Chains A and B, each alone.
Chain A
Amino acid sequence: MNFLLEPLSIVTFFPLLGVLVLLFLKPEQKNALRWTALLTSLVTFFISLWAFFFSGLYNPANGGLQLVARYDWINVAGWQIRYYLAADGLSILLILLTTFITPLAILSTWTAVEERVKDFMLFFLLLEVGMTGVFVAQDLFLFYIFWEFTLVPMYFLIGIWGGPRRLYAAVKFFLYTMAGSILMLLAILWLGINGGTFSVPDLVAQGNIPANAQTWLFLAFAAAFAIKVPMWPLHSWLPDAHVEAPTAGSVILAGVLLKMGTYGFLRFNLPLFPQAAVQFAPLIGWLAVIGILYGAAVSFAQKDVKKLVAYSSVSHLGFVMLGLFALNAQGVAGAILQMVNHGLSTGALFLLVGMIYEQTHTRDIPVYGGLWKITPIFGTVMLIVSLSSMGLPGLNGFVGEFTILLGAFGAGMQGGVFAGAGGFWLAGLAAVGVILAAIYILYMFQKMFLGPAGEVTHHHELKDLNWREIVTLLPILVFIFWIGLYPKPFFDLMMPAIENLLVPFQTILMAAH
């Protein structure tokens, strides 16, 4: 049982305790169910804070894996599968983001979910287990289990509590992710059999994967992750899933699930297949830039506000991918921070959209208008979150976007990974995304919040944010300002690990020039 007492095991599996409690409650005890889920996720959050900052077991200055829980699990036919959890600077912020966003998402369902509350909360806590597991697993096999496991609760969250086309969306979400995962599974099996272990750190340390094998292994992993991100042009499941998912589902989807894709690139593709990563970097960089511009333009043409936010994710995650594959310190650090930023800002956007939808039951942008006058607090929070999403300096989004673009620009210089591939153009076009982001965000804000009162604004007795909603949003607002004004502690957490990560690339790029 020792393995269950490891700090990261507790962080990961604590929500199961809540699940257990939920099972003993009656479906009619809605508030008890809600409180159980909320308290469970809150305690999980505090445990994660304790594990990283107050237990004394995690040293942020150390760039290696820490809080290691490593136990033999399955030893069959020479396969070494381990129960292997650990965290480092690449994952710590994502783990915290998961445990931070989950209680907020649960809080947002307080009045929005009235049907089958028990089942909803069950799936939600199970989802948290899966997501945290993805970010802490260091064994490929274990990772794959968690990765696939997240699909199940999310499938039901969309399929049961979703909008009118929920089944279509849920199935599509499931199948797209599965399709990519199968290729990844093959690659995992190849690695495990060839390397004699599924432990990622061991495989990285062996580092003897031949270049041609790297190419297809890289692509197999990339297939799973690129769909999840989603990278252009594999994004066609995203608008469906977002539009149909209930608010809390969209928040988690945007806030955490998409990051599993970018994190996958960071944790597996870069360290396991460095040669292939350098080889594919220009291609991925250009796809990312297309995604940035395409997502922004398509966003601008949307009438459904949830779709607008969904497509904006395609644009934002384009920035993340661009930063990751700039393969320099600024790009990767910016990308990790931008994963967090996107989780906060887009998560908050979905929360806000959900809050107004609860009252009006429409997401049609043109029927709003003049909302700021009627709901001033709601309008002000929306403004701040929108500005964060469009990267206004002083707020979190800017720090991420700026460092990513700086990194991408640097990668276009001589010796950089984009140098031979129109480097300056790559970064320059990506920077155009900053203009386009202003266009779609301001379009949304103007048409909903400014101008004369629209149909819906006229005909509904709209209420401003209530205390529960303010409490839901306030923590996010704190981080929007904190990261914007003083991001140093966040970068400090990740820098040692990033430096370790980048060592092989410096050697490869030096050799190339």
Chain B
Amino acid sequence: MLLSEANPAAGLFVLVPWIVFAPVIGLLINAFAGKRLGERGVGWVASLASGAAFLVSALQFYALTLHPEGAQVKIAEWIRIGQLSLDWTFRVDSLSVTMMLVVSGVGTLIHIYAIGYMHEDVRFKHDPARFPRFFVFLNLFIAAMMILVSADNYLMLFVGWEGVGLCSFLLIGFWYDLDTLGRSSWANSNAAKKAFITNRVGDFGFLIAGFLIFWYMGSFAFSEVFAAAPEVAKTHPWVITAITVFMLVGVAGKSAQIPLYVWLPDAMAGPTPVSALIHAATMVTAGVYLVTRSFPLFGLTHDGQYIVATVGAVTALFAATIAVGQYDIKKVLAYSTISQLGFMVAAVGMGAYVAGMFHLVTHAFFKALLFLSAGSVILGLERGHHHGHHAPSSPVLPPQGAGNSLSHGEIDRVKEEVFDPGDIRNMGGLRARMPVTFWVYLIGALALAGIFPLAGFWSKDEILLDAFLHYPHVYWLLTLAAFLTAFYMGRQVWMVFFGKARHEAAEHAQESPSVITIPLIILAALSAFGGFINLPFKGFHQFGYWLEHTLGAIEFPPFNFMVAGVSTVLALGAIALSWFLYQRKPLEHGQTDPLAKPLGLVFVGMEQKWFIDEAYQFLFVQPYRALASWLAQKVDWDFWHEWFHDSVLVKGFVTLARLLADPVDLGFIDRVSYWLSDAIRASAETLRKLQNGFVRSYALSVVLGVAAILGYLLLK
């Protein structure tokens, strides 16, 4: 659908497919010529490809400011079967363009950062040849994510939805032959597999929702589905609720909500740029986007909304409690991401789409910043570790097979020998050694904690306000989660950057080069000022007005000083409490967490992630494994293949033949039977001659047969 030719800006809409084509071209170049291009070339190609996608997104933004009605750009028909009619159509509206800008903007910064990060990472892991592959996957991710956010129908969205899941699998398993400490192991590939399979469970929900949508509303295209929905809500109200609940299953998979969040913490096995881009800023927010995109459906079912909001809020609190008990710098951030995604899902569940999307954007900034800074910290420690050891190989490779079956407990035990650069107990005092990283990390942490006037303050507050007005239970859960958020971030900042170095690697840590720090500084600026796109004062809801073009008229509740005050006081209190516990007397090397004693078993629960992984192993993984091998071995092989076939069918046949043969033998038709057996023996002889093993003669006989048939036909 092209708009008036009169205004050239509208013509820009036809460029929208290039948000996908550009990264695809980039990945093809790197896949086939990556070796020849060298690291610098590969990095440039990939970053330019992602940058081109950002440029196209920015042009869409510009075109949209002039033509707020947007456009649908169809590039090909896809499937046509009866009433099923699907196209590859891109949708340009304020919602999709927002996502495009976030994905390609943050994505490009992370591409650049990754040039520096992966340069060092592949060397610490002794496999520089793997460098190009990283950028191939990263570009593939941008392409898939762009398909997801720009799709005009649910099935095209699903293509992107599973596509990003594939990229997530590939990138979590980027070091597929190692574990997170760089030892030869199955650990990383296990994490990758877990992510894919868990996401598939979610995708199952998405598919079922899709089937219901199609058969009750007759289409997958957004506009047609939304147009038909009110009628269906009248005739079959349960259908709408079922659709939203099944969709929630998909959301729980992709956006790491209860009960499917378990893959995300393990996903930290991927290189840090991946954690930042895919597992914090963009891919995991796809669920939030899906709910927002489907707002006309959710608006029709109060039950569906209530369930979604509650799941989000419970996840927010639950994950925050786990984050308090973690020692790995990326694990803390991972649980924090789950928790913040809970905030967003709760928001869009309540119908506060602007607040949810607003938090999605600000979170993309500050969580990408935090992860990338954490990566900088890890690299700094690696450098310090090298410096301290003067040894060429930092990752200690245990003898073959030893690293294959390390459980968490064992990893803790061997930590003495194997240095873990991600463990905050090995850090301390990095403020002085890595000043840039410190300052940007601090900004990110304060933004996440919701401190005025950083980005997180505004967006989180808008969610809390909406919950306060409409869903009191969500409000209480989220407020508590916000308190814990400020606490664990305070804990982390104190332990990483303040106090004394608790390991020689931290003592010798070095600041990262500018290819790494410059993207950090840009993200820090966005985290600091990003909130101003949507200030909660009359006339300042710029982001809200922008989304109104897609979401319809939006009511903006006035700024509530009580809600903002309570959350600010709680956040400051949490930071003070974390100071009291972790900074008043800084931790020494080998000291246990000061919370362990007062909290007792509760802390064990938080530290061990409430044993959810173990429970899932016990409830799902092991039973399925057992069922599969029971079916394969006992039912299919022993019973069906061996016993039934060999013993019942074959033996039964032989026995029957004997039973028939004996009476005949003993009976009066002796001669006949002799004659018969002679005949059989004779023909068997002939057959044996035929079966002389020379296939030539089999072939000859086949050909003779064919010739006979043909001859018959011809002569007839």
Fill in one digit per residue for A168-212: 1 if any B CB lies within 8 Å of its CB, else 0.
000010000000000000000000000000000000000000000
Q: How far is the CB of B182 from chain A (nearest CB, A)?
A: 12
Contact of B177 among A1, A302, A431, A452 (CB under 8 A): A452
**Interface stretch (choices B198-206, B367-375, B663-671):** B198-206
| Closest A residue to B220 using CB positions | A406
Is B77 engaged at the interface, CB distance under 8 Å to the other chain?
yes
What is the CA–CA distance of A239 and B401 in the complex, to the nearest angstrom? 32
What is the CA–CA distance of A219 and B193 in the complex, to the nearest angstrom? 43
Q: Which residues of B contact A118 (CB under 8 A)?
A: 696
Q: Which residues of B contact A372 (CB under 8 A)?
A: 176
The answer to whether B696 and A301 have CB atoms under 8 Å apart is no
Q: How far is the CB of A371 from chain B (nearest CB, A)?
A: 10
What is the CA–CA distance of A356 and B78 in the complex, to the nearest angstrom? 36
**Interface stretch (choices A106-114, A271-279, A487-495):** A487-495
Contact of B699 among A119, A394, A399 (CB under 8 A): A119
Contact of B185 among A16, A438, A452 (CB under 8 A): A452
- Are A233 and B640 CB-contacts (below 8 A) given A156-B698, A301-B631? yes
| Closest A residue to B160 using CB positions | A393
Is A73 engaged at the interface, CB distance under 8 Å to the other chain?
yes
| B169, B177, B192, B706 pick with most chain A CB within 10 angstroms | B177
Is A297 engaged at the interface, CB distance under 8 Å to the other chain?
yes
**In chain B, residues 692-716, which have Cβ atoms closer than 8 Å to a Cβ of chain A?**
695-696, 698-699, 702-703, 706, 713-714
**Interface stretch (choices B10-18, B207-215, B507-515):** B207-215
Q: Which residues of A contact B204 (CB under 8 A)?
A: 431-432, 434-435
Contact of A294 among B400, B624, B631 (CB under 8 A): B631
Q: Which residues of B contact A333 (CB under 8 A)?
A: 81
Looking at chain B's contact residues, the main secondary structure is helix
Q: How far is the CB of B357 from chain A (nearest CB, A)?
A: 25
Fill in one digit per residue for B401-416: 1 if any A CB lies within 8 Å of its CB, else 0.
1011000000000000
Q: How far is the CB of A131 from chain B (nearest CB, A)?
A: 15
| Closest A residue to B706 using CB positions | A16
The answer to whether A394 and B163 have CB atoms under 8 Å apart is yes
Is A298 engaged at the interface, CB distance under 8 Å to the other chain?
yes
Q: How far is the CB of B332 from chain A (nearest CB, A)?
A: 27
Q: Which residues of B contact A409 (CB under 8 A)?
A: 211, 214-215
What is the CA–CA distance of A172 and B78 in the complex, to the nearest angstrom? 43
**In chain B, residues 557-591, which have Cβ atoms closer than 8 Å to a Cβ of chain A?**
none
The answer to whether B84 and A156 have CB atoms under 8 Å apart is no
Q: How far is the CB of A473 from chain B (nearest CB, A)?
A: 16
Is B79 engaged at the interface, CB distance under 8 Å to the other chain?
yes
Q: How far is the CB of B455 from chain A (nearest CB, A)?
A: 34
The answer to whether A19 and B159 have CB atoms under 8 Å apart is no
Is A23 engaged at the interface, CB distance under 8 Å to the other chain?
yes
What is the CA–CA distance of A329 and B200 in the complex, to the nearest angstrom? 27
The answer to whether A491 and B81 have CB atoms under 8 Å apart is yes
Q: Which residues of B contact A330 (CB under 8 A)?
A: 81-82, 84
Q: Which residues of B contact A402 (CB under 8 A)?
A: 155, 207
The answer to whether A434 and B203 have CB atoms under 8 Å apart is yes
Task: Please tell me the number of chain A residues within 8 Å of chain B, measured between CB atoms.
Answer: 71
Contact of B207 among A23, A405, A486, A492 (CB under 8 A): A405
Is A451 engaged at the interface, CB distance under 8 Å to the other chain?
yes
What is the CA–CA distance of A269 and B681 in the complex, to the nearest angstrom? 41
Q: Which residues of B contact A233 (CB under 8 A)?
A: 640
The answer to whether A239 and B641 have CB atoms under 8 Å apart is yes
Is A46 engaged at the interface, CB distance under 8 Å to the other chain?
no
**In chain A, residues 1-24, which have Cβ atoms closer than 8 Å to a Cβ of chain B?**
1, 3, 16, 19, 23
Q: Which residues of A contact B628 (CB under 8 A)?
A: 297-298, 300-301
Spell out B's residues near A (CB within 8 Å). Answer: 76-82, 84, 155, 158-159, 161-163, 166, 169, 173, 176-177, 184-186, 189-190, 192-193, 196-197, 200-201, 203-204, 207-208, 210-211, 214-215, 400-401, 403-404, 624-625, 627-629, 631-633, 636, 640-641, 644-645, 695-696, 698-699, 702-703, 706, 713-714
- Chosen A-B contacts, 27 in total, with CB atoms closer than 8 Å, are A19-B703, A23-B699, A83-B713, A118-B696, A119-B695, A160-B695, A236-B644, A236-B645, A300-B628, A300-B632, A328-B82, A329-B81, A330-B82, A387-B166, A392-B162, A393-B163, A402-B207, A405-B211, A435-B204, A438-B197, A442-B169, A442-B193, A446-B192, A452-B177, A452-B186, A452-B400, A488-B76
Beyond A236-B644, A393-B159, A446-B189, 17 extra complex contacts between A and B, CB < 8 Å: A116-B695, A119-B699, A297-B624, A298-B632, A301-B625, A301-B633, A329-B82, A330-B82, A333-B81, A393-B163, A409-B211, A427-B211, A435-B200, A451-B185, A451-B189, A495-B80, A495-B81
